[in-house]
Structure 1
Amino acid sequence: MEPIITVVGFLGAGKTTLLRYLIEKFTNYGWQPFVILNDYENANMDAQQFRQQVKLNSIKALSGSCICCSGIVELRHTVNRIQERKKGVTLIEANGTSDACTLMEFLGVGLNNRFLPPIQISVVDVKNWQKRGEHNELERNQIQVSSLIVLTHLEHIAAKRKEIVIADIKASNTLAKIITMDNLDVSLLPELLPLKNKAQKIDHQKAHWASCSSNLPELPDVSCIYSICKALPKSILRVKGCTKIDGENNYTYFERNPDGEVFIRPFNGIPVTGTKLLTIGLGSEPHVLKKAIDSALNQ
């Protein structure tokens, strides 16, 4: 039977990094991964970045809905239509504001018999755990029914901080195994069992956030990316973009995490949706994105 592994975690916690790791390791062990990506605005942009790891017919982008509620039927149909493979494994990355408990409650209903009951892995950003203000409840919700919790963002973190975070996680989920990515043995993941924890429900609307996208013109230099990210309000917790820098042949991908850090790297190929600026969080409105872009270009 085919395992289903769902990766959840708050915006910027490191879900995509973990997913890349899982794909690489599973492939090395002879498994054939099928990857499903969910995002509010444009999951296709992220999907393109996996083309070097998985074939196009082994990845599916689900955009514009939340797979923990309105998108659950589409997710279930997508899983059931996956072609049967020898040593197949299905990997699902949920968007960063998913109601993870509700997702697990509904996902396992109506799946084909060839699939094992879904298990959940939660990614926890140790640096920013429970420093989300009004979103702390949502972040805590995302660990409650996870069978495995992977700690990330441990660079320059004091041992005491790590101990405090682990103790706090255990207070909400006493049964999950807690590890770092360095200690993750993917060969054991298909043997994990769904957790039977009784989840503490949250107001589901707390998992529904504003999102927006805008066309992004060619930028004169990389500094414009930093200017755009700085100009967008802090209430926008997730920023992603793909653009072209003047004089360069290849496209550039960038993202701003909730703590304000900006990361820039080459984009794999040509974006199928064109160059875009994508945002998630309060203030994600077309005029806000346009103002940030215009401000950066006019500096």
Structure 2
Amino acid sequence: MIDVYLLSGFLGSGKTSLLSHIIEQFKKEGTKPAVIMNELGKLPFDSRAVEADVPLKEMLEGCICCTGSEKMEAQLQMLLEGESFDVLLIETTGAAHPVEAMDAVYSPLFASKLNMKGIITVADCKRWLDRDKMTPQTRMLFLEQIRHAHLIVANKIDLLTDSEIATVTMQLQALNAKAPIIQTSNSKLPLNIMKKIEATFHEKEINETAIGKQLFLSSRLHTFQEPVNQEDFECWLKELPDTVYRMKGYVPLVGHKNPLLFQYAYGMVQWLPEMIKMPPQIVIIGDQVDRIDVLGRISND
């Protein structure tokens, strides 16, 4: 049977970084991984973290746990019939309830082929400390992702003081006393720790948090018509409401030949140069992002 790990965690917590580290470690030991990635938006930005020799299937424009069960089954079937691999890693969208997402994996078609090892939830420690600023629905999802984990990756501890780290660790343990907590920076989780988890799913009541029901999380695609000034762009980012949780894509900046790879999570920005010209688009994810004035005050000179 093929072991399956489900990577959960809120938007911008570090799931894709975790995925990259896990893939690298599996390959070093001679184990061939395959990946299924789920994104809310239309563009597969995060799939760039997966190397070309790793079998990959993508689910775009929707959440596994809400409308994607049939798509997930089809992707699994294509992987199992068309690829040879030893372990399957499923990265859910940050808006997915982990148990609902995992239920989408189960099918009589695969019962004899897949062994669900468990849920690894990446918890953004910095966001945890400010969780009361979230809307009640979104905070509920954040807590559910941690509550149902079989292993908690307490990420971004490099941004916290020793006192804050102790506080977060105690509070996470109080919410989920059975899951080991591993403190990390940049989601660097040792593979031997991950392999020790074994899933059990009958002990906890599941509180439904599907998008379109309790949650108002949505994604929005913005296409740039011309380059923008980096300083003005970053000023606009600082004015965004707390309900914008994640942005990613390619931003055309004045003075640069190609759009830069752009990542935004919880007020933190990352820019990476691109060697080729990518579509000048970003995906914005958060609560009711249709109400955001997208780049309304950005200068183009």
Q: Structure 1 regions of 5+ residues with no counterpart? A: none
- Residue of structure 1 equivalent to 2:297: 295
- Residue of structure 2 equivalent to 1:210: 218
Q: Partner of 2:66: helix, strand, or coil?
A: coil
CA distance in 1, matches of 2:30, 2:180: 25
Q: Partner of 1:11: helix, strand, or coil?
A: coil
Alignment of 1:38-49 (within 5 A): 38-47=38-47, 49=48
CA distance in 2, matches of 1:29, 1:198: 35
Residue deviations 1:44-101 (CA, integer Å, cap 9, x gap): 1221x225x343x722221111101201221122122214666521111111121122
Q: Partner of 2:2: helix, strand, or coil?
A: coil
Letter in 1 for 2:13: A
1:195 aligns with 2:203: no
1:79 aligns with 2:87: no
Q: CA distance change for structure 1 residues 156 and 79 in 2, over 3 Å: closer, same or farther?
A: same
CA distance in 2, matches of 1:156, 1:191: 28
Return the offset for 1:200. Answer: 4.3
- Residue of structure 1 equivalent to 2:113: 114
Alignment of 1:45-194 (within 5 A): 45-47=45-47, 49-50=48-49, 53-55=51-53, 58-83=55-80, 88-110=86-108, 112=110, 113-129=112-128, 131-133=130-132, 134=136, 135-181=138-184, 184-187=189-192, 189-194=194-199
Q: CA distance change for structure 1 residues 167 and 230 in 2, over 3 Å: closer, same or farther?
A: closer
Q: Which segment drifts farther, 83-92 or 58-67? A: 83-92
1:265 aligns with 2:268: no
Contact in 2 for aligned 1:41/1:64 (Cα 8 Å)? yes
Q: Partner of 1:206: helix, strand, or coil?
A: coil
CA distance in 1, matches of 2:70, 2:228: 43
CA distance in 2, matches of 1:222, 1:178: 38
Return the offset for 1:9. Answer: 0.7
Q: Partner of 1:13: helix, strand, or coil?
A: coil
**TM-score, normalised with respect to structure 1:** 0.85
Q: Partner of 1:142: helix, strand, or coil?
A: helix
CA distance in 2, matches of 1:225, 1:54: 32
CA distance in 2, matches of 1:129, 1:139: 9
Return the offset for 1:18. Answer: 0.9
Contact in 1 for aligned 2:64/2:104 (Cα 8 Å)? no
Residue deviations 1:6-33 (CA, integer Å, cap 9, x gap): 1111111111111111111111111112
Q: Which segment drifts farther, 195-204 or 87-96? A: 195-204
CA distance in 1, matches of 2:162, 2:65: 34
CA distance in 1, matches of 2:275, 2:74: 28
Q: Structure 2 regions of 5+ residues with no counterpart? A: none
Return the offset for 1:208. Answer: 4.8
Q: CA distance change for structure 1 residues 252 and 89 in 2, over 3 Å: closer, same or farther?
A: same
Contact in 2 for aligned 1:9/1:96 (Cα 8 Å)? yes
Q: In percent, how many aligned pairs have the same letter?
A: 24
Q: Partner of 2:157: helix, strand, or coil?
A: coil
Q: How many residues align?
A: 290
Letter in 2 for 1:69: C
Contact in 2 for aligned 1:66/1:72 (Cα 8 Å)? no
RMSD: 2.6
Contact in 2 for aligned 1:11/1:97 (Cα 8 Å)? yes
- Residue of structure 2 equivalent to 1:285: 290
Return the offset for 1:233. Answer: 3.8
- Residue of structure 1 equivalent to 2:20: 20
CA distance in 2, matches of 1:152, 1:263: 17
Contact in 1 for aligned 2:62/2:68 (Cα 8 Å)? yes
